[in-house]
Each structure stands twice: as C-alpha cells, then as structure tokens.
Amino acid sequence: MVRMIDVYKAYPNGTRALKGVSLQIEDGEFSFLVGPSGSGKSTIIKLLTGEIKPTEGRVLINGYNVNAVRQKDIPFLRRTLGVIFQDFRLVEKKSVYENVAFAMRVVGSSPREIKIRVPYVLDLVGLSHKARRRPAELSGGEQQRVSIARALINNPKMIIADEPTGNLDPARSLEIMMLLERINALGTTVLAVTHEKELVNRFSKRVIAIDGGRVIGDRTGGYYQYEAIRN
C-alpha cells in the first residue's frame, strides 16, 4: 500500500516540486498518474523508490516509512517494487534470459530458483521463444516486455511503470498497457505514470492527475476531464 500524507518536496535549487500531495493506493489497485512535464510525477516516483525523502509530510510504501528508512534498508524497500522505465535499460551483451535472471542473482536467488522462475515470467510476458535473443534483435515492444519481465521476476508487491510506452508506437503501447492490466489481475499493484491521454482514455482505471505539484483530480475516468479542472 502507498500513502502520501501532505507531502512537500523542495530541491536545493529552490524548486518546489510538490506542494501538499496526499494520496493513497491500495494493494491490488491499477492507477494512472498523469500530468504535464514538470508537474511533479518524477518526484513522486523518486519518493516511492526511496531515492529522495520529503521536505515535509510522510511517505509510506509497502510497510516502509520513507522519511525514516535507513540507507541500509533501502534495497529491501526496493525489492517490494518493480520499476519499468521508458528507455528499457537492458544489458545489450546479455540475452533476454540473462537480463531477467540477472535481477534474481542480484538478490541472491539460487540457480534452481532462477531456472524455475525465469521461464515462467518470460511465458507470462509472451517472450519464451525469444529467450536466447539479445536486445538488439528485438523490437521496441519486445524490449519493453523484457523490462517488464525483469521488474516482475522477484515477485514485487507493486509495479511502477514510468512512461512505459514513451518510445513505442500506438499499437505497441496498447499491447504493453494490456499486459500491465493482466499483471494487475494476477494481484500485483500497478502505478502507470504517463502523459499519453489517448492511452489512458482506453482504460477505465483510477486516474490521479497532478499539476503544479498538487493533485488536481482523482477518480475513475479519462484524462481530459482534468484539463477542465486545471483551466
């Protein structure tokens, strides 16, 4: 579960990125976080992953208090999360299988656990037949599926997808979002951060809209209604 309680974030250069954000995301939810560039979306992601701490307010995620978490415990906080990036961040010299298995090795999984888990997750994202290919041999959509598999491999409580379709065409973007919807149906909480209005409007999900460091809308429905609120 995620709780942000009256959160403010000011950076050393004077930028006030968040100005009293409060929100709650329950276990098992699928939510979109939307807003224009500079609205505060990236700051929220950094807070949830423990990269930064709030200036004021409280941030709680999956049993961790980000305000008080010790540096040595941040890796354990991050193990409860799977993060998907716009630019994929795959290791070019490793195969699809090796890219996904590497995330298990980092947390100390045994060879037997890796042998069982990696094929299961690759099958889930539809890439069993591409296990031995390298990223350069894959399409953009397939590379993003590898990054989704890597985010899922350690069975996180929550997936944070940061502009997961930003480098993809509309058809591939829809495929990726449908895959995230399927993952959510299996019980994983999903927070998809995006500015793609048309894509958000294809799904009847909770939409949290942020602008100017403040939440300006929070309900199930499309992206466009929040433009009216903002204006």
Query: Model confidence over 214-228: pLDDT tens digits?
Result: 999 998 876 655 554
- With cut-offs at 50, 70 and 90, classify the pLDDT of residue 198: confident
What is the pLDDT at residue 228? 45
Q: What angle do CA 113, 27, 79 make, to 5 degrees?
A: 35
- Whether the per-residue pLDDT at 231 is higher than 50: the answer is no
- Whether the per-residue pLDDT at 230 is higher than 70: the answer is no
What is the pLDDT at residue 168? 86
What is the pLDDT at residue 138? 94
Considering the domain delimited by 2-80+156-230, tell me its CATH architecture.
Answer: 3-Layer(aba) Sandwich (3.40)
**Mean pLDDT over all residues of the chain?**
92
Q: What percentage of the chain reaches a pLDDT higher than 90?
A: 79
What is the pLDDT at residue 225? 58
Residue with tokens 């040595």: 72
Between the alpha carbon of residue 220 and those of residues 1, 81, 191, 204, 206, the distances in Å are 18, 24, 14, 6, 4
Q: Which amino acid is at 58?
A: R
Among candidates 55, 71, 80, which has minimal Cα distance to 160?
80
- Whether the per-residue pLDDT at 229 is higher than 70: the answer is no
118-166 pLDDT, tens digit per residue, is: 999 999 999 999 999 999 999 999 999 999 999 999 999 999 999 998 8
Euclidean distance between CA atoms 220 and 207, whole angstroms: 6
- Whether the per-residue pLDDT at 71 is higher than 80: the answer is yes
Q: What are the two backbone dihedrals, phi and then psi, of residue 64, each rounded to the nearest 5 degrees?
A: -110, 140
Q: Once rounded to an integer, what is the mean pLDDT over residues 65-88? A: 92
Residue with tokens 């990236």: 42
DSSP 207: E
What is the pLDDT at residue 221? 73
Numbered ranges of CATH 3.40.50.300 in the chain: 2-80+156-230
